[in-house]
Chains A and B, each alone.
Chain A
Amino acid sequence: MREFKRLVIPYIVWIALMIVIPMLLIVMYAFTKEGNDVATLSFTFDHFIKFFTDPDFLNTLFLSLKIAFITTVLCILLGYPVAYAIASAPAKRSNLYILLITLPMWINMLVRTYAWIGILADNGLVNHILSFFGLNTTQLLYTDFAVVLGMVYNFIPFMILQIHSSLAKMDKNLLDAANDLGANRIQRFLHVTLPLSIPGIISGITLVFLPSVSSFVIPKLLGGGGYMLIGNIIETQFITVGEWNFGSAISMIMALIIMFSMYLTRKIDRDHTERRMNV
């Protein structure tokens, strides 16, 4: 079997180069002053101090978390009924539905988001319809609403697919048993279906929250140049401003926050399953 073990070696070299070193470089840049020559490295906390003492940056971080939170909640609320409807459809149909859910994911995210601009613009489709019915037109593009809409549109398939797969795995006999024991439809849902689909919701949350908190494409296209989320700040630091050290510090802060929230959701998931096992 030793021959097989050796198969791992190339990949160890590869991840050291392409995953570990880049991460270490971010940490190094985050803690050093300008200039990236190893010879002239000088350690500093300045970038973190700058970030955490400035209300503008903290507000942006807070806004990013808020938008990602709203997006995630909406994805659960809208995605659950859809996943449920798919899971309760006949097998052949539900496969078709799954295909229809996945198809848009094959289309480039930028293109899908770009499509909304024409619909939401000041003289776009929605406002045309509003004014046709004699209603006041409103600004839709470049608002919180547009950004959340764009995120839900792009990320809700992940949620639907995750919840669906946990619902599809569910043993249907459990529902019959609950039925025989006198539970009505609502009770069956609350005490059998919902608890069993929690793992799907949890992995859906990670798949939706992660890209929404760090997104910079959707806020830029649908929120406009003045709509900055934490991802946009990182992007401008690296692409336009050229302050890679500060940008690395923000990237590090964001990565840590996300890893911490992932850890929390997983822990809640574990606790939840353990509690169920004990009951």
Chain B
Amino acid sequence: MNSHRIWRKAVLGLIFLFFYFPILYMLVFSFNDSRSLTSFEGFSLQWYAKMFSDRNMLEAIYYTLVIAVLATVVSTIVGTVTAIGLSKSRKLVREVITQINDLPIMNPEIVTAVGLMLFYVSLHMEKGFFTLLLAHIAFCIPYVILSVMPKLRSLDPNLAEAALDLGATPFQSMMKVIVPQIMPGIVSGALIAFTMSFDDFIISYFVTGNGVKNISTLVWTMSKRINPSINALSTIIVVIITITLILVNVLPVLKEKAERSHNRNARRAIPALGAFLILAMGCGLYALKGSSQGGNAEEAVALYGSNVLKVYNWGEYMDPAANEAFEREYGVKVIYDTFDSNELMYTKLQGGESYDVLVPSDYMIERLIKEDQLQPLDKSIVTNLDQLASGVKGLSYDEDNTYSVPFYWGTVGIVYHKDHVALEDLEEEGYNILQDEKYRGRLYIYDSERDSFMVALKALGYSMNTDDPEELRQAYEWLVQVNTTMSAEIVTDEVIDSMVNGNKDLAIVYSGDAAYILSENEDMGYFMPSEGTNLWSDAMVIPKTAANPKLANEYINFMLDYEQAYQNSLYVGYASSNAEVLDVLSGADGEFYENEAYLPRVGYAKDEIFRYNDMTKKIISDLWTKVKIAK
């Protein structure tokens, strides 16, 4: 018997180590003094401070809790009522409904999510709080019904009958006779609903929008960069959950060593305690959320018709302080959403979301202009156009800035580890170094269909704007080769921290990210192959569907001005469109002095600007999906 016990302890010990080690790891690193997730450099509370000063995080927690509570209440009531009705219905009705009710449970979540997304789009419902709440209610009800039904089945059907005979109204007999009998089922249904809603990512990811994020979707957008604030947030969640569970599970046991299993007691205590905690947190968060808004909101409403501005920009593209400065100055609230590819942004617009300011790239702006989706800027408001750098003046897609004001510009090149990669190899092979067996397994390429094909086409000596199917096919094969035999890692913004940490030796990177990498890790260099590159620019535009165009013009002008342009460029490392900012930052006292990635190469004959082509766009996006899944 003794060996049995040891064996049991060993098994349980190992599994709990497996379960709790990562959580513990996260907890420890939330107190790390540095940004690293791998080496601990001293105790600090800075990530907690960051978290509590980050409005996005507070809002996400707020939305998560509000949605979870509302979805739990509604789905518990509807689910219970329906289950009671079902128990009295004919067998056929019951069977059919339970079958359909099982669908969201038996279906992969992503299918349910996609279905709901198509549903909202078909109805032209604007994604946001309401769509999110409806979706959460929809996937919670089935679980409530599922946990209430068995209790009803074991209930004597004559009870309700007897109550009615004794003069109770149907409502009374339901509330006073049926519900108390099935209470444990209702409570556990509510608990499941709350957990499901609180933790949901997949469905929320597809049905939310307009800046409404829950914790999961926020973590998803943040997880590209190393961000210990996520650890801080998680630690707080872990602590709250642990305390709640310990209280509800241990207290009843200590209090009364009654015969009843303490599990049931726990279930009874959870709602009261949970409700209290949630209420307290909700109030606190609401107070925090409210205090961050500017004071002269009414003035803004009078001036612009609304005090809300919705901005859709690239991830990691702005100093958060810039938006806060705008909010203070104009007394408005900026809803700031981010994307990580032009295509993603475009798809989201097609999904019916409206924004006031977008920051797409050159070829995408060309497309939006062509499709008549943009509105002209109000030049009486955008007065800072004369501050534009010469490199971004008169760009071919919008020569006289009718629709767009450049925000950043740059090139695409190769960041390399100076000690591990020979410069001669780079000079000799250019982009074809990505095919050099010597560097196998030591390279990153960027998950952008456009720029990956640019690299391949340039490596093969073609124009990156080619529409020749044969050249595109060759480029596709070149990329498959890089992905399979060279085992390149396809990444997005996580490449930045990975290269700063020196995880690999070669990476295709945008010049601005390269400038940041070089400034953080001096072993890294930036190389622009002689085959030419993509000379890109991202510009601020106002879509036709913008709700607040006047304020959007003010925003564009504000961000173009020296002060904000300087802050933003300094913060992210991308070359500013403001001439003076460029001079100062790359000058002798500037942060990016002698940083070879900061200033874009101008006037090199083989560099090109992307042109939009409807036909090649489709071919390239199909081929890129296939490159990624090639094994």
Contact = CB atoms under 8 A, between A and B. Distances in A.
A106 B84 CA distance: 29
**B104, B107, B263, B630, most chain A CB atoms within 10 A:** B107
A15 B100 contact: yes
Contacts of B160: 1, 4
Contacts of B238: 107
**B85, B97, B100, most chain A CB atoms within 10 A:** B85
Interface stretch (A170-178, A190-198, A254-262): A254-262
B26 A11 contact: no
A78 B629 contact: no
B629 A57 contact: yes
B575 to A, nearest CB: 25
Contacts of B242: 103
A114 B219 contact: yes
B291 interface: no
A7 B82 contact: yes
Given A4-B88, A125-B25, A247-B114, A111 B230 contact: yes
Contacts of A199: none
A108 B22 CA distance: 13
B161 to A, nearest CB: 7
B176 interface: no
Given A20-B100, A114-B223, A128 B22 contact: no
Interface in B26-68: 26, 29, 37-39
Contact of A85 (B11, B18, B220, B621): B11
Nearest to B214: A108
B121 A122 contact: no
B19 interface: yes
B530 interface: no
Contacts of A41: none
Given A233-B629, A258-B108, A8 B22 contact: no
Contacts of B199: 105-109
A251 B441 CA distance: 33
Nearest to A98: B263
B106 A59 contact: no
A99 B348 CA distance: 41
Contact of B347 (A10, A20, A224, A242): A242
Contact of B107 (A139, A233, A255): A255
A116 interface: yes
Contacts of B78: 10-11, 14
B630 A56 contact: yes
B604 interface: no
Chief secondary structure at chain B's binding surface: helix
B237 A26 contact: no
Interface string B185-204: 00000000001001101100
A110 B201 contact: yes
Nearest to A210: B108
B114 A251 contact: yes
B324 interface: no
Nearest to A104: B19
Contact of B350 (A104, A242, A255, A258): A242
B613 interface: no
A4 B170 contact: yes
B488 interface: yes
Contacts, number: 273
Nearest to A88: B8
A173 B82 CA distance: 40
Interface stretch (B338-346, B361-369, B464-472): B338-346
Contact of B22 (A29, A116, A142, A242): A116
Interface residues of A, number: 101
A5 interface: yes
A228 B20 CA distance: 28
Nearest to B24: A115
Contact of B115 (A23, A104, A107, A211): A23
A155 B123 CA distance: 35
Nearest to B106: A262
Interface string A200-214: 000000100011011
B245 A103 contact: yes
Contact of A248 (B37, B118, B134): B118
Contacts of B88: 1, 4-5
| Interface size class, chain B | 35 or more
Nearest to A89: B8
A106 B195 contact: yes
A241 B20 contact: no
A103 B174 CA distance: 35
A110 B233 CA distance: 12
A119 interface: yes
A239 B101 CA distance: 27
B347 A231 contact: no
B138 interface: yes
Given A99-B249, A241-B347, A111 B237 contact: yes
**A17, A86, A231, A236, most chain B CB atoms within 10 A:** A236
Contacts of B141: 11, 14
A221 interface: yes
Interface in A62-111: 63, 78, 81-82, 85-86, 88-89, 95, 97, 99-101, 103-111
Given A6-B85, A103-B241, A108-B216, A86 B347 contact: no
27 contacts: A4-B87, A4-B174, A8-B93, A10-B81, A18-B134, A19-B103, A29-B118, A82-B11, A85-B12, A108-B215, A109-B199, A109-B201, A110-B219, A111-B233, A114-B234, A118-B37, A122-B503, A224-B491, A225-B489, A233-B625, A235-B110, A240-B344, A242-B346, A243-B621, A251-B114, A254-B110, A254-B111
Interface of A: 1, 3-12, 14-15, 17-23, 25-26, 29, 36, 54, 56-57, 59-60, 63, 78, 81-82, 85-86, 88-89, 95, 97, 99-101, 103-112, 114-119, 121-125, 128, 139, 142, 153, 160, 206, 210-211, 213-214, 216-217, 221, 224-226, 228, 231, 233-244, 247-248, 251, 254-255, 258-259, 262
Given A8-B97, A236-B625, 18 more contacts: A4-B85, A5-B89, A22-B119, A23-B115, A29-B118, A59-B629, A81-B11, A95-B249, A100-B16, A105-B199, A108-B237, A110-B216, A111-B219, A115-B22, A115-B26, A211-B109, A234-B110, A244-B118
